[in-house]
């Protein structure tokens, strides 16, 4: 069964949905963060597949910039999580509901 | 079934299996390892699509730097399966259902997309000198701006992570 | 059908090259342990291992046998799978880098086949090395974490932060070299350093990129966890660090991986900066000898250069005292990275304006 662009579409959607499920299911902030990385990567995969499909180089540069932004995001996000751990000694996001009260 | 297809199915199976491992394993370190596996499989996809530069950058940036940082933070906090916060069964089921429904909706939206062949002949599109030429000619401004973004993210991380001297130094992270 | 036959011959040829390289690296790493003990002994005015065989030459075999027959202990509260995965990853990443090193010039056999002494000539060779090096830290981190021991955990945290910090300066110093070579393939880089004198200046990159070489070498020390940067395993503070809980052949894997890393990194440093298999007057030697003999001479030249580099690493280890942790970080972030950036800038300006090719 030869591989078509739709295969990549389905694979990428599957990975994206798994990422969404993880972000909804888990309470550990780090795992949720990792699920976001997974979603970004599924989009990257799709962009590369499209770039091969249309023989267009721009999509690959998009992936490059997504990686740049993801790296910056991780640097700040992990700093935030470490600070949160210092304050409340937990990475459970349910503790962070103080804005409610 | 030629080599390309075999590798496609192999890497897809690894990617999906490891992605499931990320969200299902209770120990955060196992999650990190599974995510590394997913990223390596995605890099494998890039390799078979001849996007060599992106494949290796994916390995260097994601598995070599970002995931090491995650692992570092998890080790620093000494998180393990015993202290892993658990949601109730109901919320977990709700999460799975909503993710699955999203998947179904997206599938329903695209299932009529006509399958286009992936072009395996254009071998030179992912090569580093072609990417570099486009990056430094057409995308010079975004490239420079992204370097500024990096710098600000670095400064931001340092500022956030700085210890506030006013607070009493109660229990370090370690 | 012809195509298939050619393919099979190629696969067999590559398999032979891979197994020779693996066996050779393992053998050299084995004798590197002996060499290290001898060097240490000479520098401390001792005799060193001299009981097993003449000059203690059978000592590595004896050590290996001893490690094999030791009792295998897995700590009770450790994470068993990751505990076993750690040394395996360390060994795997140590051996993977050797795939892109060009060990010798092409040899054209009498039958017309061209044999390349390189497992894979990928056009992003340096990036591949970089990727594998960045994966190398996982072995140490996972092993240290899974041991469930405070010292091991501290050691793995140190290893991670050290590796991440020094990878940056290493990458930036390599960018300067890449700007001069214009290629990421190690094969092209070696070919550009042909001979020793290219008419105007030395052709080896160490003479064109002296600052970059020093930065790269320093970072290589840190990435290899060698003294003076051996903080992850410093005996006096962390007593052995990440491999404290390991015993038997799993410990052997860690120790062995360290020496394999040492040899292969030396081979890569030699390839990048010391001309790889090139040596002075190689053209005259090539015409004087047959092609097969010439290839063998080139391979021997590369290996002897790499062994010389390994000896240099050993001399440094037994000469310099260990850095303190904050000194290490200060050197990496405040010393090497600005220096590497300045080097990159100057190289870029020179390539752009002075040496237009």
In a domain, B171, yes or no: no
The shortest CB-CB distance from B56 to any of C128, C142, C161 is to C128
The answer to whether residue B18 sits within a structural domain is yes
> Does B78 lie in the same domain as B7?
yes
The answer to whether the bond into C115 is cis (omega within 30° of 0) is no
| CATH number for B12 | 1.20.120.1200
Contact of B47 with chain A, judged by CB distance below 8 Å, is answered with no
Listed by number, the residues of chain A in 24-63 with a beta carbon closer than 8 Å to a beta carbon of chain B are 24-28, 30-31, 33-35, 37-38, 41, 44-45, 48-49, 51-53, 55-58, 60-61, 63
Calculate mean pLDDT across residues B124-148. 85
* pLDDT at residue B123 in the model: 63
pLDDT bucket at B174, cuts 50 / 70 / 90: very low
CB C295 within 8 A of CB C107: yes
- Least trusted range by pLDDT, from B22-36, B42-56, B138-152, C68-82: C68-82
- B109 phi and psi angles, rounded to 5 deg: -70, -35
How far are the Cα atoms of A23, A84, B74, C84 from residue A90, in angstroms, in the given order? Answer: 17, 8, 11, 29
Where residue B165 falls among pLDDT bands split at 50, 70, 90? low
Tell me the H-state helices in C44-79. Answer: 59-69
What local confidence, expressed as pLDDT, does residue C1 receive?
36
The tens digit of pLDDT for each residue in C233-269 reads 766 677 777 777 787 788 888 888 888 888 888 988 9
Instruction: Show residues of chain B in contact with A29, CB under 8 Å.
Output: none
The answer to whether residues B11 and B63 belong to one domain is: yes
Whether B72 and B135 map to the same domain: the answer is: no
In the prediction, which pLDDT does B14 show? 92
Instruction: Identify the residue among C96, C130, C134, C151 best suited for mutation to test binding to B, counting B beta carbons within 10 A and taking the highest.
Output: C134
Q: Identify whether B23 is part of a domain.
A: yes
- DSSP codes, A29-98: HHHHHHHHHHHHHHHHHHHHHHHHHHT-SHHHHHHHHHHHHHHHHHHHHHHHHHHHHHHHS--BGGG--G
B173 part of a folded domain:
no
At B69-105, the pLDDT tens digits run 888 888 888 776 666 666 677 888 888 888 889 888 9
> Domain check: are B2 and B73 in the same one?
yes
Name the β-bridge partners of C108.
Answer: C114
From B82, B112, B138, the end of a domain falls on B82
**For position A30, what pLDDT does the model report?**
87
Same domain for B142 and B75? no
How many angstroms from the chain centroid is the CA of residue C97? 8
B and C: number of Cβ contacts within 8 A: 69
Please judge whether A76 and B160 are an interchain contact, meaning their C-beta atoms are less than 8 angstroms apart: yes
Domain ranges of chain A: 5-100
- C216 Cβ contact list (under 8 Å, min separation 6): C170, C173, C174, C269, C272, C273
- Per-residue pLDDT, averaged over C18-39, amounts to 87
CA-based nearest residue to C99, from C256, C267, C300, C311: C267
H-helix segments, chain C: 2-43, 59-69, 80-96, 125-146, 150-181, 186-192, 205-208, 210-223, 235-238, 248-273, 282-288, 291-317, 325-330, 337-349
Which 3 state secondary structure label does DSSP give C188? Answer: helix
Question: Between chains, do B134 and A57 touch, taking CB under 8 Å as contact?
Answer: yes
Question: Please, what is the end-to-end C-alpha distance for chain B in angstroms?
Answer: 52
Contact assessment for residue C147 and residue C242, using Cβ atoms and an 8 Å cutoff: yes
Containing structural domain, residue B151: 124-162
Contacts of C246 (CB under 8 A, 6+ apart): C87, C143, C147, C254
| Digit-coded pLDDT (tens) for C52-95 | 778 778 888 888 888 888 887 777 777 788 888 888 888 888 88
Greater confidence (C325 vs B1) lies with C325
Helix or strand or coil: residue A28?
strand
Structure-block tokens of residue C336:
């090497």
Rounded Cα distance between C193 and C279, Å, is 9
The Cα C46–Cα C38 span in angstroms is 9
Determine which of A11-15, B124-128, B136-140 has the lowest per-residue pLDDT on average. B124-128
Terminal-residue alpha carbon distance, chain A = 57
This model of the complex carries an ipTM of 0.89
Asked whether residue B38 carries a pLDDT value surpassing 90, the answer given is: yes
Q: What is the mean pLDDT of residues B45-73?
A: 87
Average pLDDT of adjacent 10-residue blocks, chain A of 101 residues: 78 90 85 90 90 83 89 89 82 74 63
pLDDT of the residue at C3:
44
Task: Dump the DSSP string for B1-44.
Answer: --HHHHHHHHHHHHHHHHHHHHHH-SSHHHHHHHHHHHHHHHHH
- Whose CA is closest to B160, among C81, C224, C232, A85? A85
Which residues of B are less than 8 Å from C135 in CB distance? Answer: 59, 63-64
Whole-number pLDDT of residue B171 = 47
Q: How crowded is the C-beta side of B73, counted as CA atoms within 13 Å? A: 29
Which tens digits make up the pLDDT trace of C142-177? 888 888 778 888 888 888 888 888 888 888 998 888
Look at the alpha carbons of A66, A67, A70, A75 in this order and tell me if their dihedral is positive or negative.
Answer: negative
Does residue B36 form part of some domain?
A: yes
Chain C residues close to B72, C-beta within 8 Å: 141, 157, 160-161, 164
Percent of chain C with pLDDT over 70: 96
pLDDT of residue C46: 86
- Please state, rounded to an integer, the average pLDDT across all residues of chain C: 83
Predicted local distance difference test score (pLDDT) of residue C210: 87
B57 CB within 8 Å of a chain C CB: yes
CA distance C264 to C124: 18
Q: CA A88, CA B96: separation in Å to the nearest integer?
A: 29
Q: Which helix (H) or strand (E) holds C107?
A: strand C104-108
Q: For residue B13, what pLDDT is reported?
A: 92
Domains of chain B: total: 2
Three-class SS state of C105: strand
Q: Which chains touch A (3 or more CB pairs under 8 A)?
A: B
Element holding B71 (H helix, E strand): helix B67-77
Mean pLDDT of C133-139: 86
The CATH label, of 3.40.50.10800, 1.10.287.3510, 1.20.1250.20, 3.40.50.300, for the domain at A5-100 is 1.10.287.3510
Closest residue in B to A24 (Cα) is B95
């Amino acid at each position: 069964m030869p591989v078509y662009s739709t295969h990549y579409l389905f694979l990428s959607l599957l990975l994206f949905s798994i990422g969404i499920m993880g972000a909804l299911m888990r309470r550990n902030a780090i795992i949720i963060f990792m699920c976001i990385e997974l979603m970004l990567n599924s989009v990257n995969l799709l962009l590369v597949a499209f770039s091969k499909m249309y023989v267009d180089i721009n999509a690959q540069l998009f992936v490059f910039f997504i990686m740049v932004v993801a790296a910056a995001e991780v640097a700040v996000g992990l700093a935030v999580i470490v600070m949160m751990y210092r304050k409340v000694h937990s990475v459970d996001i349910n503790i962070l509901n103080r804005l409610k009260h | 079934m030629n080599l390309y297809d075999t590798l496609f199915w192999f890497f897809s199976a690894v990617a999906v299996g490891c992605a499931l491992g990320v969200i299902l394993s209770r120990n955060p370190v196992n999650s990190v390892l599974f995510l590394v596996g997913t990223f390596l499989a995605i890099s494998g996809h890039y390799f078979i699509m001849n996007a060599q530069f992106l494949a290796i950058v994916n390995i260097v940036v994601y598995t070599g730097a970002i995931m090491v940082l995650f692992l570092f933070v998890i080790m620093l906090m000494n998180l393990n399966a015993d202290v892993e916060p658990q949601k109730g069964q109901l919320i977990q089921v709700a999460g799975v259902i909503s993710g699955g429904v999203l998947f179904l909706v997206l599938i329903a939206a695209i299932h009529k997309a006509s399958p286009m062949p992936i072009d395996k002949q254009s071998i030179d599109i992912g090569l580093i000198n072609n990417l570099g030429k486009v990056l430094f000619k057409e995308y010079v401004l975004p490239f420079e701006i992204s370097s500024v973004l990096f710098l600000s993210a670095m400064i931001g991380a340092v500022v956030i992570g700085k210890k506030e001297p006013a607070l009493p130094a109660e229990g370090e992270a370690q | 059908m012809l195509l298939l036959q050619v393919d099979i011959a190629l696969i067999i040829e590559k398999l032979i090259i891979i197994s020779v390289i693996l066996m050779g690296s393992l053998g050299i790493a084995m004798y590197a342990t002996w060499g290290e003990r001898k060097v240490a002994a000479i520098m401390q005015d001792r005799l060193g291992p001299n009981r097993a065989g003449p000059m203690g030459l059978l000592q590595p075999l004896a050590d290996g046998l001893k490690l094999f027959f030791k009792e295998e202990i897995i700590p009770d509260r450790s994470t068993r799978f990751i505990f076993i995965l750690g040394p395996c990853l360390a060994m795997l990443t140590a051996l993977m880098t050797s795939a892109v090193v060009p060990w010798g010039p092409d040899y054209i056999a009498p039958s017309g086949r061209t044999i390349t002494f390189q497992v894979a000539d990928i056009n992003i060779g340096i990036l591949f090395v970089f990727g594998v090096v960045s994966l190398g830290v996982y072995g140490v981190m996972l092993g240290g974490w899974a041991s469930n021991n405070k010292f091991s955990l501290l050691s793995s945290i140190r290893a991670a932060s050290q590796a991440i910090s020094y990878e940056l300066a290493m990458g930036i110093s390599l960018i300067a070299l890449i700007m001069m070579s214009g290629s990421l393939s190690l094969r092209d880089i070696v070919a550009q350093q042909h001979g020793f004198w290219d008419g105007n200046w030395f052709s080896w990159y160490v003479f064109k990129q002296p600052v970059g070489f020093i930065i790269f070498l320093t970072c290589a020390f840190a990435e290899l966890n060698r003294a003076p940067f051996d903080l992850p395993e410093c005996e006096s503070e962390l007593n052995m660090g990440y491999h404290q809980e390991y015993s038997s052949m799993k410990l052997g894997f860690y120790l062995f991986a360290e020496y394999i890393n040492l040899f292969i990194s030396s081979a890569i440093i030699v390839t990048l900066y010391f001309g790889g298999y090139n040596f002075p007057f190689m053209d005259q030697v090539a015409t004087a000898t047959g092609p097969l003999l010439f290839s063998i001479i080139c391979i021997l030249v590369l290996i002897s250069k790499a062994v010389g580099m390994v000896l240099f690493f050993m001399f440094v280890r037994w000469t310099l005292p260990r850095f303190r942790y904050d000194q290490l970080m200060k050197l990496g972030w405040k010393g090497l990275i600005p220096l590497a950036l300045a080097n990159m800038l100057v190289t870029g300006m020179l390539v752009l304006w002075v040496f237009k090719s």
